[in-house]
Chain A
Amino acid sequence: MSRFFAAGYDSESGSSSEEDLLTSSSEEELSSSEEEQSLESDSEFDDADDSSEDDGPSALGPAYFLKKAFLKTDASDSDSDDEGRKVVKSSKEKLMDEMRDCIALIDAAKAAGDWVKIVADFDKLGRALTKAQQQSIATPAFYVEALAALDDAIAAQTDVKKMSASESRAYNTVRQRVKKQVREFQARVDAFRAGGDAEEAAPVVRAVAASSGIFATLQTIAETRGKKNVDRFQQIQELEDLAQLAKTPFEQISVYLMMIPIRFDVSANAAYMSLEQWMAAEADINALFDVLETNAATVALLETAEATDNLETEPLPNAAGVKEILGSAGGFVERLDDELARSLQSIDSHAAEYSDRLKDEARVYALLVRAQLYAEATARTSEQLARLVLRRLDHIYYKPVSLIAAAEAQAWSGIPEAQNSTVAPRVADADTLVDALCSLLYTQNSVFRKRAMLSHIYYYAKNNQYYKARDMFLLSHLQATIHTSEPQVQVLFNRALVQLGLCAFRAGLIAESQQVLQEIATSPRSKELLGQGTAKFSQTTTAADKQRLLPYHMHTNLELLEAAFMTGSMLLEIPQIAAQASDYKRKTASKSFRRSLEFYDRQYFTGPPENTRDHVLHAAKALQAGDWKKAHEFLCAIKIWNLFPDAEELKAMMRTKLQVEGLRTYVFTFRTLYSKLSIAHLAAVFELSSEEVCAVVSKMVFNDEIAATLSQQTDSIVFQGRELTKLQEMTLTLTEKIGQLSERNERLAAGGHQAQSAFQKGKNYTPAGDKSRRQVV
Chain B
Amino acid sequence: MPLTAEELTLARQYDLTQKFVPFLDRHLDYPLIEFLGNEAVYDDQVINQLIYDLLKDTNMFKFVKDTYKKLNPTSAFPQELLDKEETFTAEATRLGGETQEILDVIGRDDVKAHFSEDKSQNCEYLAKNFGIDASKINKLYQYGLLKYNKGDYETASDLLYTFRLLSTDSESLIAATWGYLSCQIILLQWEKALQELQKLRDIIDSRSYADPATQLHHRTWIIHHFLFPFTNTETGLELMCDLFFQSSYVSTIQAACPWILRYLVVAVISTKNHKRMRDLVRIIAQESYEYNDPLTLLVKSMYIDFDIQKVEQYLVECQIIIKTDFFLSNCTSSSSSFLDNARAFVLEVYLKIYSVADVAKVARLLNLDSTAEAVALLKTFSAASNHVSIEVVGETATITKTAASVHQQVVEKTKHLSYKSTQLLNAQKEKSS
| A, B co-complexed | yes
Interface residues of A (CB under 8 A from B): 467, 691, 694-696, 698-699, 701-702, 707, 709-714, 718, 720, 722, 724, 728, 731-732, 735-736, 738-739, 742, 745-746, 749
**With A702-B353, A711-B354 as given contacts, are A691 and B420 in contact (CB-CB < 8 Å)?**
no
Q: Give Cα A248 to B174, complex, Å.
A: 66
Residue among A695, A702, A712 having the largest count of chain B Cβ atoms under 10 Å: A712
A-binding segment of B15-23, B105-113, B405-413: B405-413
The smallest beta-carbon distance between A765 and chain B, in angstroms, is 19
14 chain-A/chain-B pairs, Cβ below 8 angstroms: A694-B306, A696-B306, A702-B353, A707-B403, A709-B355, A709-B399, A712-B361, A712-B396, A713-B356, A714-B356, A739-B417, A742-B420, A742-B421, A746-B424
The smallest beta-carbon distance between B49 and chain A, in angstroms, is 32
Q: Is the CB of B306 within 8 A of A702?
A: yes
Q: What 9 pairs between A and B have smallest CB-CB spacing?
A: A709-B355, A711-B356, A698-B306, A728-B406, A713-B356, A735-B413, A695-B306, A712-B358, A699-B306
Q: Which residue of B lies closest to A748 (CB)?
A: B424
Q: Which residue of A lies closest to B349 (CB)?
A: A702
Residue among B308, B356, B361 having the largest count of chain A Cβ atoms under 10 Å: B356
Chain A residues touching B, majority SS? helix
In the assembled complex, which residues on chain A have CB atoms less than 8 Å from the CB atom of B428? 749
In the assembled complex, which residues on chain A have CB atoms less than 8 Å from the CB atom of B424? 745-746, 749
Q: Is the CB of A712 within 8 A of B305?
A: no
The smallest beta-carbon distance between A477 and chain B, in angstroms, is 11
Q: Give Cα A714 to B396, complex, Å.
A: 11
Interface residues of B (CB under 8 A from A): 289-290, 303, 305-309, 349, 352-358, 361, 396, 399, 401, 403, 406, 409-410, 413-414, 417, 420-421, 424, 427-428
Q: Is the CB of A712 within 8 A of B352?
A: no
Q: Is the CB of B349 within 8 A of A713?
A: no
Q: Give Cα A710 to B397, complex, Å.
A: 12
**With A713-B396, A742-B420, A746-B424 as given contacts, are A735 and B357 in contact (CB-CB < 8 Å)?**
no
In the assembled complex, which residues on chain A have CB atoms less than 8 Å from the CB atom of B303? 702
In the assembled complex, which residues on chain A have CB atoms less than 8 Å from the CB atom of B354? 709-712
Q: Is the CB of A701 within 8 A of B410?
A: no
Q: Give Cα A707 to B403, complex, Å.
A: 10
**With A702-B349, A712-B356 as given contacts, are A736 and B413 in contact (CB-CB < 8 Å)?**
yes
Q: Give Cα A702 to B309, complex, Å.
A: 16
In the assembled complex, which residues on chain A have CB atoms less than 8 Å from the CB atom of B421? 742
The smallest beta-carbon distance between A170 and chain B, in angstroms, is 49
In the assembled complex, which residues on chain B have CB atoms less than 8 Å from the CB atom of A720? 403
Q: Give Cα A732 to B349, complex, Å.
A: 24
**With A718-B355, A745-B424 as given contacts, are A738 and B417 in contact (CB-CB < 8 Å)?**
yes
Q: Give Cα A710 to B353, complex, Å.
A: 6
Q: Give Cα A735 to B412, complex, Å.
A: 10
Q: Give Cα A696 to B304, complex, Å.
A: 10
In the assembled complex, which residues on chain B have CB atoms less than 8 Å from the CB atom of A702? 303, 306, 349, 352-353
A702-B306, A713-B396 given; 18 more Cβ-contact pairs under 8 Å: A695-B305, A695-B307, A696-B306, A698-B308, A702-B303, A702-B349, A709-B356, A709-B399, A710-B354, A711-B354, A712-B361, A720-B403, A732-B409, A735-B410, A738-B417, A739-B413, A739-B414, A746-B420
Q: Which residue of B lies closest to A470 (CB)?
A: B289
**With A691-B309, A742-B417 as given contacts, are A712 and B290 in contact (CB-CB < 8 Å)?**
no
In the assembled complex, which residues on chain A have CB atoms less than 8 Å from the CB atom of B305? 695
In the assembled complex, which residues on chain A have CB atoms less than 8 Å from the CB atom of B357? 712
In the assembled complex, which residues on chain A have CB atoms less than 8 Å from the CB atom of B358? 712-713
Selected contact of A711 from candidates B289, B349, B355, CB within 8 Å: B355
In the assembled complex, which residues on chain A have CB atoms less than 8 Å from the CB atom of B355? 709-711, 718
Q: Give Cα A742 to B427, complex, Å.
A: 15
Q: Which residue of A lies closest to B401 (CB)?
A: A709
Q: Is the CB of B289 within 8 A of A731?
A: no
In the assembled complex, which residues on chain B have CB atoms less than 8 Å from the CB atom of A707? 403
The smallest beta-carbon distance between B415 and chain A, in angstroms, is 11
The smallest beta-carbon distance between B383 and chain A, in angstroms, is 21
Q: Give Cα A731 to B412, complex, Å.
A: 13
Q: Which residue of A lies closest to B414 (CB)?
A: A735
Residue among B349, B353, B421 having the largest count of chain A Cβ atoms under 10 Å: B353
Q: Is the CB of B352 within 8 A of A701?
A: yes
The smallest beta-carbon distance between A82 and chain B, in angstroms, is 77
Q: Which residue of A lies closest to B360 (CB)?
A: A712
Q: Give Cα A739 to B410, complex, Å.
A: 11
Selected contact of B406 from candidates A732, A745, A746, CB within 8 Å: A732
Q: Give Cα A467 to B307, complex, Å.
A: 24
The smallest beta-carbon distance between A669 and chain B, in angstroms, is 21
Q: Give Cα A712 to B352, complex, Å.
A: 13
Q: Give Cα A732 to B407, complex, Å.
A: 9
Q: Which residue of A lies closest to B356 (CB)?
A: A711
Q: Give Cα A732 to B410, complex, Å.
A: 7
Q: Which residue of A lies closest to B412 (CB)?
A: A735
Q: Which residue of B lies closest to A704 (CB)?
A: B352
Q: Give Cα A707 to B352, complex, Å.
A: 11
Q: Give Cα A561 to B429, complex, Å.
A: 53
The smallest beta-carbon distance between A545 and chain B, in angstroms, is 38
In the assembled complex, which residues on chain A have CB atoms less than 8 Å from the CB atom of B417? 738-739, 742
Q: Give Cα A713 to B356, complex, Å.
A: 6
**With A712-B361, A718-B355, A739-B413 as given contacts, are A731 and B406 in contact (CB-CB < 8 Å)?**
yes
Q: Give Cα A713 to B305, complex, Å.
A: 22
In the assembled complex, which residues on chain A have CB atoms less than 8 Å from the CB atom of B307? 691, 695
Q: Which residue of B lies closest to A714 (CB)?
A: B356
Q: Give Cα A709 to B349, complex, Å.
A: 12
Q: Give Cα A695 to B349, complex, Å.
A: 12
Q: Give Cα A647 to B54, complex, Å.
A: 51
Q: Is the CB of A467 within 8 A of B289?
A: yes
Q: Is the CB of B427 within 8 A of A749?
A: yes
Q: Give Cα A745 to B421, complex, Å.
A: 9
In the assembled complex, which residues on chain B have CB atoms less than 8 Å from the CB atom of A712? 354, 356-358, 361, 396
Q: Give Cα A702 to B427, complex, Å.
A: 37
Q: Which residue of A lies closest to B254 (CB)?
A: A471
Selected contact of B410 from candidates A714, A731, A742, CB within 8 Å: A731
In the assembled complex, which residues on chain B have CB atoms less than 8 Å from the CB atom of A738? 413-414, 417
The smallest beta-carbon distance between B218 and chain A, in angstroms, is 19
Q: Give Cα A714 to B398, complex, Å.
A: 12
